[in-house]
Structure formats: C-alpha cells, structure tokens
Amino acid sequence: MTTAAPPKPISLEHVSRWYGNVVAVNDISLSLGAGVTGLLGPNGAGKSTLLHMMAGLLRPSAGRLLVLGAPPWQAPAIYRHVGLVPEREAVHGFLTGREFIEMNARLQDLTDAPAATARALATVDLLDAADRPVGTYSKGMRQRAKVAAALVHDPPVLLLDEPFNGMDPRQRLHMISLLRRMAAEGRTILFSSHILEEVERLADAILVVYAGRLAASGNFREIRRLMTDRPHTFLVRSSDDRALAARLVEHAAVFGIDLGGGRLSVSSSDFGAFTRILPVVARDASISLYEMLPTDDSLESVFAYLVRR
C-alpha cells in the first residue's frame, strides 16, 4: 500500500498576477516545504506581489495558490497559522512595543495574550525597549517588533518581506539565528531579499524571480554555481592589447575576443578559469596588465541570464 506524500505548506500552480497591462507575476509554479527559503530578485521583480498573494492580501489573476491546503484569498481563518512581516515600515508608532505585540496577540484571540507577548518580545530580544513607544525605535528595532508581531501566535508558516532592511550586522546575525531556529522547529519560512549574501547566509533553498518569472529554484549552491559559471565579459587594459588577445584566443575558457574601439573585450564561459589564466598568459608574454573589469556583474544581469537559460 502506498501513501500519498503530505501536501507542501505552500504551493503555486501557474500563478500570475497583473495590474491592468502590467504583469507583476508571470506563470509561477512552485512548492515550499519546511525550512528557510530565500526569495531573491531585484527590486520590482515581483517578490512582494508573490508574498502578498501567499498572505491573502492580493488575489491571483490566474492559477492556483494554496497555503496549508487552502486558498488564502478572503480566508481570514488562515491567519491563525500564517504570519507576515510586511516590507513597509509603518507601525502604530504611538503604541509601546509591548502594546503593539499584545494588540496582535489579542486579535489572534490567544488565551494568555500578555504571556505570548512577553515570549515574542524575548524571542526578538526587545524586552528592554518593550515599554517605549514604537515610534521612538530605530529601524532595526521596528523591524524586530514587526517580526515579534508576526510570530506571537507561533505560526507554522512565516512570510517575511525584506526582513533585514535597516538592521545593523549584529541584529542581522540575531535575526538569522532566530529564523534558523524557527525553521529547525519545522516551520516553513519564506523571506525575500535583493541581496545575494543575505540569502546565502540563511536559506536552505532559493527561488530567484526576475521580471515576474521564476528564473531558478532549488538548492542554493547549485544556483550559486549557475550564477558564477555563466558567460562573463571583461574589459582588459594592458601594455599590448593586440598581443594579449592573440594569446588568449588559444584558451578553451575564452570564446570571444573583440578589439573594436581600441579596447580589448574578452568573453569567457568560465569565470574561475579565465581569472586564473589571464595573469599567467600576460606574464609569459611579458605584457603588463593595467586593468580587468567585468562588464556584466550586476545582480540584474545575473538574473537576466538565469531567465534566458
């Protein structure tokens, strides 16, 4: 007898969302299980739209989106099991941290709201400032108050939109260890970021979105390798560009040379190999290297490459 695998906490099948003629999320299918997943993409890629649809704050224009087995749109009951940390900074600044978290606990109808509030405040290391108005908090403290508000009811699914914004390095480390700890307890945690290093430090799995499409998904190391091993183009300046070009063209890692406009442009399929052979080739030919500049190393171009793959 075979038993069907339990459904994933979050699943999307061909989900799209558009605003008039603008497509914000384009035909995305994915499923998320327990653990920390990073949602990586440049600003405007559709990350917040995806998170808001998962949180029931936006209706998908097409496709099927389920959170814990049910569509979250117009289903407030789901919020007993889901927490969202929105990107927008605004909180009720006139409330103290404790009042703000307790308001969230009461609206979750928790039996002992003050105790749940104290636990959430301790979890985000905010007990010392708990009785100060949230309006007087630093950006990082406010971010932690938002996280405490989202986890006060101990939800199995936690969605965080750019949670590290405004945090100093110490707060980031604290937040990373907190999220890891929560994931180890079996929660499904999805956080968005446009900073590769943040995702690298925290996420077990990664979703890359670009221009509304899912550009890549899976294990972080595999995607990191794809990002690193993509074709790169470099501008090289040396004491003899023509001679250097003649030598470089013989190497397998180099697949394109352009000397137009008085500049040496080299295309390589292997970032690591090229950066290793270039100084060796130059030294062997007694050519002085002045500059080597990657021309397409922005995260934007990395995402564009992943989409084209």
Which residues of the chain form contacts with another protein (CB under 8 A)? 24, 43-49, 52, 55-59, 74, 76-80, 82-84, 86, 88, 90-92, 94-95, 100, 103-104, 106-109, 149
137 vs 271, which CB is nearer to another protein? 137
| Interatomic CA distance for residues 142 and 161, integer angstroms | 14
Least distance CB 287 / another protein (angstroms):
47
The residues, ordered by sequence, that sit 6+ positions from 68 with a Cβ below 8 Å of its Cβ are 9, 78, 81, 82, 156, 157
Q: What is the dihedral of CA 245, 248, 252, 255, to 10 degrees?
A: -20
Return the number of the residue (49 or 238) whose C-beta is nearest another protein.
49
Nearer to another protein, 7 or 44 (CB): 44
Cα Dmax for the chain = 78
| Shortest distance (Å) from residue 76 CB to another protein | 5
Query: For residue 70, what are the β-bridge partners?
Result: 67
Closer Cβ to another protein, 1 or 90, answer by number: 90
Residue count (the chain) = 309
35-40 sheet: strands from edge to edge: 82-85, 157-160, 188-193, 35-40, 205-210, 213-219
**CB closer to another protein, 40 vs 277:** 40
CB of 107 to another protein, least distance (A): 4
Q: 90 to each of 28, 36, 127, 132, 143, how far by Cα in Å? A: 30, 25, 21, 16, 10
Q: Which secondary structure element, helix H or strand E, spans residue 273, and what is its range?
A: helix 271-284
CB of 100 to another protein, least distance (A): 8
What is the distance, to the nearest Å, from the Cα of residue 9 to the centroid of all Cα atoms in its chain? 19
Please say which residue, 82 or 254, places its beta carbon nearer to another protein: 82
- Cβ-in-10-Å burial (0-12, 13-18, 19+) of 95 comes to middle
Q: Which is nearer to another protein, 114 or 186 (CB)?
A: 114
Q: How far is the CB of 13 from another protein (least distance, A)?
A: 21
Residue 58 or 205 with smaller CB distance to another protein:
58
Tokens of 7: 């459904």
Q: How far is the CB of 93 from another protein (least distance, A)?
A: 9
Under DSSP, the state recorded for 5 is P
CB of 84 to another protein, least distance (A): 6
Task: Give Cα 203 to chain centroid, integer Å.
Answer: 8
| Least separation in angstroms between CB 104 and another protein | 6
- Tell me which amino acid residue 152 is: V
Q: Identify the residue whose tokens are 């980031």.
A: 172
